[in-house]
Amino acid sequence: MSISINFKKASVLSISLAKVGNAHRGEPLKTSRDLCKFDEADNEMLTHAFLKPFRGLERYSLHHHSELSLNEMYGYADSVFSQQERFLSFSRKMARHLYDKSRHPNIKAGDLCIALVGNVYVNKLPCTAISIVKSESLVPFLEISDKEGDLQLTTHNGIYPDKIDKGALLVDFQKDDGFLVYTFDKSGADANFWVKDFLGAKPQRDDEYKTKQYAEMCASFAKDGLPDDLGEEDRFRLANQAAQYFSEKDQFESESFQQEVLKEPERIEAFRSYKDNYKDEEGKPVDEEFQIAGGVAKKAMGKVKSALRLDSGVLLRFTPDFVDHPDSIERGFDEERGQKFIKLYYEEEL
């Protein structure tokens, strides 16, 4: 199912605040007794701050291994969406749930903001959302103020929206499947903490997810699955041929991909062996057939090195056009000089 989300008409309705320490270190949890008051003039800025981090992220859903209703965050979110007047009460329960899960020694204390947001449009339908953001570091900034007829410089420490460490956006859409969820964790302190322990979320295995997973596997194969003596130019060429396949096709079929992109029997065999041992973040094998989601594969393929740096100070950078000139580079070894060499062929300088 194709999903489009739009924040243009979104508006913050309510905000709840908390300071969440690390329970493992005995740090406290403090939650606001009342909803945060803010001027209507600040609504646009706050809405932007609470929604900007979630643009362009993968789609997740809340889940539980036995029954969805047993997922704590699912229960709290469902209650907020159906009883918005009790937002403060359930937002405090969310903060408590986060605190109870903050027991890994590497998890930092931080400021937690939970916002109820209206008019988030999903597939042109207005929906309510809950934005949860945690900042684990304060950013210093300066303010010039007019005081008693003179200008003074004041220093402050605050939350910078572009530096938020963790976030989750729970949208009242696809309720029976665990809601529509977007999430991120920039800190990397514990890969399972935010997404799995706190949210209990897993990626939606839609065509976008399947395209990304297969493309990432191809990029990984280009970097690590080919013979060690293969040059960077050949790895780059293979990755770009794979990217071209994804861009030109609507439907992905693994067998045709191998025949059209890999071609050589030895390389196909190496790829199949690599694929059989490759697992996604849930420990599942990649899907063999799916509808290709445009643009997703190109980003994944961009992780393959596009340059060759030599110890002589020479840097060769490859562009996608390089794929169309398979015989433009020749490698060899000069016995007399005892050095490797690279020979370049071209028609003219550009």
* pTM (2 d.p.): 0.80
- Determine the pLDDT at residue 307: 74
- Determine the pLDDT at residue 304: 66
Do 238 and 257 share a structural domain?
yes
Residue 123 lies in a domain: yes
Do 63 and 16 share a structural domain?
yes
- Determine the pLDDT at residue 345: 87
Residue type for position 24? H
Domain termination residue (choose one: 204, 234, 258): 204
Radius of gyration for the chain, computed over Cα atoms and rounded to the nearest angstrom: 26
Do 182 and 124 share a structural domain?
yes
Do 227 and 85 share a structural domain?
no
Q: How far apart are CA 311 and CA 314, in angstroms?
A: 7
- Determine the pLDDT at residue 153: 79
Per-residue pLDDT of the chain (350 residues; tens, 9 = 90+): 678 999 999 999 999 999 999 988 999 999 999 999 999 899 999 999 999 999 989 999 999 999 999 999 999 999 999 999 999 999 999 999 999 999 888 899 999 999 999 999 999 999 999 999 999 987 776 778 777 778 887 776 777 777 789 999 999 999 999 999 999 998 765 668 999 999 999 999 999 899 989 999 998 998 889 888 888 888 888 888 898 899 889 999 999 999 999 999 999 999 999 999 998 777 788 999 999 987 777 777 666 667 778 888 888 887 777 767 777 888 888 898 999 898 888 888 87
Do 219 and 112 share a structural domain?
no
- Determine the pLDDT at residue 156: 67
- Determine the pLDDT at residue 89: 97
- Determine the pLDDT at residue 305: 66
Residues contacting 345, CB < 8 A, separation 6+: 327, 328, 329, 330
Do 275 and 198 share a structural domain?
no
Q: For the range 239-245, what are the long-range contacts, defined as Cβ-Cβ under 8 Å and sequence gap of 24 or more?
A: 239/301, 239/304, 240/301, 240/320, 240/322, 240/323, 241/323, 242/215, 242/218, 242/297, 242/301, 243/215, 243/297, 243/298, 243/301, 243/320, 244/323
Do 230 and 107 share a structural domain?
no
Do 102 and 23 share a structural domain?
yes
Total domains in the fold of the chain: 2
Per-residue pLDDT tens for 265-310?
999 999 999 999 998 777 788 999 999 987 777 777 666 667 778 8
Do 275 and 189 share a structural domain?
no
Residues contacting 292, CB < 8 A, separation 6+: 207, 211, 246, 249, 250, 251, 252
Task: Name the token pair of 286.
Answer: 């990649």
Do 171 and 22 share a structural domain?
yes
Residues contacting 68, CB < 8 A, separation 6+: 62, 74, 178
- Determine the pLDDT at residue 188: 66
- Determine the pLDDT at residue 289: 94
- Domain extent at residue 92: 5-134+160-204
Q: How far apart are CA 126 and CA 10, in angstroms?
A: 9
- Determine the pLDDT at residue 92: 97
Do 273 and 181 share a structural domain?
no
Do 72 and 88 share a structural domain?
yes
Residue 175 lies in a domain: yes
